[in-house]
Amino acid sequence: MVYESIPRTVRIILLGEPGVGKTSLILSLVTEEFAEHVPPKAEEITIPADVTPEQVPTNIVDVCLNEQTIEQVAEEIEKAHVICIVFSVDKQETLNKIASYWLPFVRDSCSDDYRKPVILVGNKIDLIDYSVIDNIWDIAEEYPEVDRCIECSAKTLTNVSEMFYNAQKAVLHPIHPIYCIEEQE
């Protein structure tokens, strides 16, 4: 896999099926609390360098299929450095769509010789009492651009900042092997 040279800003995009919690994750990160009601799509957010662990300004881009055309989403993927594909751990179909739809779509939206790192994000772990990490190994094997999988909860704030930090790291310190971050209380 060929990586681009290390950028001076990190642009993170969140993709995934409707209702998996993309907007909630962004707003939980920024406000450090969970809002029951969120807009369909968060405005683009810029986190200044001095409050990011890697000291790099970071833009976070939300996607909402009800408000954007698929062509607009593809353009946003092209502009991003790292792609977070979110699924809901309590809805198997949202995980199934990662391999059947989202990863091929990301590949189609990027140039052939450069694969952007992808983070798989299992949101809503507050709703289940088991891990779904074992279900992603086949996906990770088929798609080496998958950098890691993180389980988190926008509601309890579990692993939310870790998720964005790991997205930053995937750009700034690219690695090939797959790492999994289990829940951190």
Q: Give residues in contact with ligand GTP (CB under 6 A).
A: 16, 18-24, 36, 38, 40, 64, 66, 123-124, 126-127, 153-155
Nearer to ligand GTP, 21 or 117 (CB): 21
Least distance in Å: CB of 155 to ligand GTP?
4
- Return the number of the residue (54 or 90) whose C-beta is nearest ligand GTP: 90
CB of 48 to ligand GTP, least distance (A): 24
Give the nearest distance from C-beta 116 to ligand GTP in angstroms: 20
Nearest Cα to 116, choosing from 127, 106, 105, 104?
A: 106
Q: How far apart are the first and last CA of the chain?
A: 34
Residue closest to 132 by CA, chosen among 86, 70, 90, 77 = 90
Residue 92 to residues 6, 74, 83, 135, 136, Cα–Cα distance (Å):
35, 24, 20, 10, 11
Cα separation values, 128 from 89, 125, 131, 134, 135, Å? 8, 6, 8, 15, 15
- The CA distance from 121 to 107, in Å, is 18
Residue whose C-beta lies closest to ligand GTP: 21
| Residue nearer to ligand GTP on the CB measure, 8 or 130 | 130
The separation between CA 65 and the C-alpha centre of its own chain, rounded to angstroms, equals: 16
CB of 173 vs ligand GTP, minimal distance in Å = 27
| Minimum CB–partner distance for residue 90 and ligand GTP (Å) | 8
- The DSSP bridge partners found for residue 88 are 123
User: For residues 116 and 155, which CB has a smaller minimum distance to ligand GTP in the complex?
Assistant: 155
For ligand GTP, which is the closer residue by CB, 55 or 184?
A: 184
